[in-house]
Structure 1
């Protein structure tokens, strides 16, 4: 079922704050994944940007340090960001070839024309959103900097074009539907109690109660430093579970308390999964064998979380008043975070801390049901 849902998933390759879908990001590019040529190109860029000065003689020790430095440079941006930036450069260089020009050195005039082309629909190709065009511009700036050039985003040929595009085409960001308490309860009720069902139940409940991104869910390890690709670890206590996450904004701790019912308690669901899957080291959420009786060592992809949400939304009948295609488009991994933000009846600052937001304004974007007129400044002003 989940594999079938994968083809219907509207996943996002995004930077935080952007909800642009993959087909919009790619536009005329075939996809946003790195092929062999793009991997080689990225390696060449890193090799050129991190090297010994010409006057320094190489040695085994220095060569190893260079390799280490390149590894740190690659880790400076998230994997999805790296893929998106590589796709941005590939698309721009192909556009330049079609226009009979060269992408190097950077030309603000050509970048401005490129942005104007992205903002205009041509034939069956729709115009890109403003947020996606800005993301493309960030990708070009990053790629130019890695090649030793600077793209001046304040140049009038770029800044003026972008301001005009924003004024003419800007629209409110598309927000995914929040999963409410009754929704998440109905969703987990559709899952069986075999090994795969125990795992998926723990994923949904921990993701919901922790207000986690889907990448944060699947990056968890049982202990600190269990695996090189760990994004955090879990510590189960009497009162709940403490998640230590290496998030986008740095390290943070997320407290997931025990629930009032064993059926919907995220900590209880996590304990059951770890116990029956016999996991005491490495990734918390892993794949299972075809018969669903054994836990494997391979860490789950974050796309599994998106497919799981969509599959259980359909199966549980959440928003069954709408056509299936619209229901699939309404819910995604961010629906878990929006659900917690919208449903937790506590002071806003606690929700902000749980979600790891730098500002209260960002938290409010996730609160789909907040009482907007709790403070009435009109009456307070005497009117």
Structure 2
């Protein structure tokens, strides 16, 4: 195991790397590495523009939230290495094994709070990505990593804590808490209804633009048709279309809610859901952060008294942006394959994890076997 202290030198080009790839010699920094040579690398001048374009494609390979998570996890790992007088580069499976052990035992941070197995797996994936981008892959199959991780899973793995599903009756009550006479109220109604009816993730909701190719950071756009709303989304596995039909009444129709928001917010182009400013009288140009969706769901659920049998603290923990997605999966009385398509799941098993009140014993194999 290596035991030298982390270097504090700035980032530089390592001529030993193919093409002069940028190497982060300040591994505690938050800047993400790039496999593309910097402009000052040993490249012919006429390739500078191509290198700039390649760096743009590297950025586009993952979402902003993913890149932020990669940077945060790398910073967490390098800070732990610094405290232990270890170096994070080059990758040492024994060091990584000790790190995930510290995460599982609560010794990786000052608050002594153990990380969940899910968080540890995410941190390990982030380290693998960071090391790969630096041209020094981490061997996750090495016994110091693989065996330790298997032991952590066997010891600490627990069933996932699912968020509460927002059911139709809950959603209607939540909509009633929003002021239809304000821009913020109109926007929030549209977000709740589209998020529920489309089974959308919170990042997908705020990532929508009014039309195609209108912003660089958009994750999709909408098309309003006679029979409903077509949502075109860019996901991890490519593009997909989500069809949102019109509701049985204007008050619960996601299409009407979108049309009303667009009209009164006077949005002609760009991000669909934006910040309301000027004491609620003006709509700004900036796209909403996806955390606003989670805050909206929590706030509206509390105001509507959803799950009033629980304490306010427990209720706040149970609702998030995913509650809308789980609500559609749990309440749509249609063939499961249609729900799977709407949610964009690759398997029916994943869709079933979102169904909070499905009939689990509809198929009784005990009786079917003759018992």
TM exceeding 0.5: yes
The one of 314, 319, 322 aligned to 2:307: 319
Alignment of 1:59-208 (within 5 A): 59=45, 61-122=46-107, 124-193=111-180, 194-208=182-196
2:329 maps to 1:338: no
Residue 33 of structure 1 aligns with which residue?
none
Q: Which residue of 1 aligns with 2:44?
A: 58
Aligned twin of 1:365:
353
Shift of 1:131: 0.9
Count of matched residue pairs: 343
Residue 58 of structure 1 deviates from its aligned partner by 1.4
Q: Is the 8 A contact 1:52 1:58 kept in 2?
A: no
Between the aligned partners of 2:40 and 2:214, the Cα distance in structure 1 is: 40
CA distance in 2, matches of 1:41, 1:300: 24
User: How big is each residue's C-alpha offset from its partner over 1:138-185, in whole Å with a ceiling of 9 and x where there is no partner?
Assistant: 111111111110111011111110111111111011110000010000
Larger relative contact order, structure 1 or 2 (CA cutoff 8 Å, min sep 6): 1
Q: Partners of 2:210 and 2:39 in 1: how far apart?
A: 43
Q: Return the offset for 1:67.
A: 1.0
Gaps of 5+ in 1: 1-36
Q: Deviations over 1:112-147 (max 9, x none)?
A: 111111111358522111111111111111111111
CA contact (8 A) 2:207 2:217 kept: yes
Report what 1:7 is aligned to: none
Matched, 1:289 2:274: no
Q: CA deviation at 1:190?
A: 0.7
The TM-score, its normalising length taken from structure 2, stands at: 0.89
1:293, distance to aligned residue in structure 2 (A): 2.2
Q: Distance in 2 between matches of 1:228 and 1:116?
A: 40
* 8 Å Cα contact 2:28-2:74 kept in structure 1: no
The alpha carbon displacement at 1:40 in A equals 6.8
Which residue is equivalent to 2:22? none
Shift of 1:227: 1.2
Report the Cα offset of residue 42 of structure 1: 2.4
Q: Whole-Å Cα distance in 2 between the matches of residues 161 and 304 of structure 1? A: 37
Q: Name the CA distance, whole Å, in 2 between partners of 1:39 and 1:73.
A: 21
Where does residue 277 of structure 1 map in the other structure? 265
What is the aligned-residue RMSD (CA, Å)?
2.0
Q: Deviations over 1:179-207 (max 9, x none)?
A: 00100000011111121111110000000
Local SS of the residue matching 2:291: helix
Any gaps of 5 or more consecutive residues in structure 2?
1-25
TM-score w.r.t. the length of structure 1 is 0.86
SS class of match (1:234): strand
How far apart, in 2, do the equivalents of 1:109 and 1:175 lie? 34
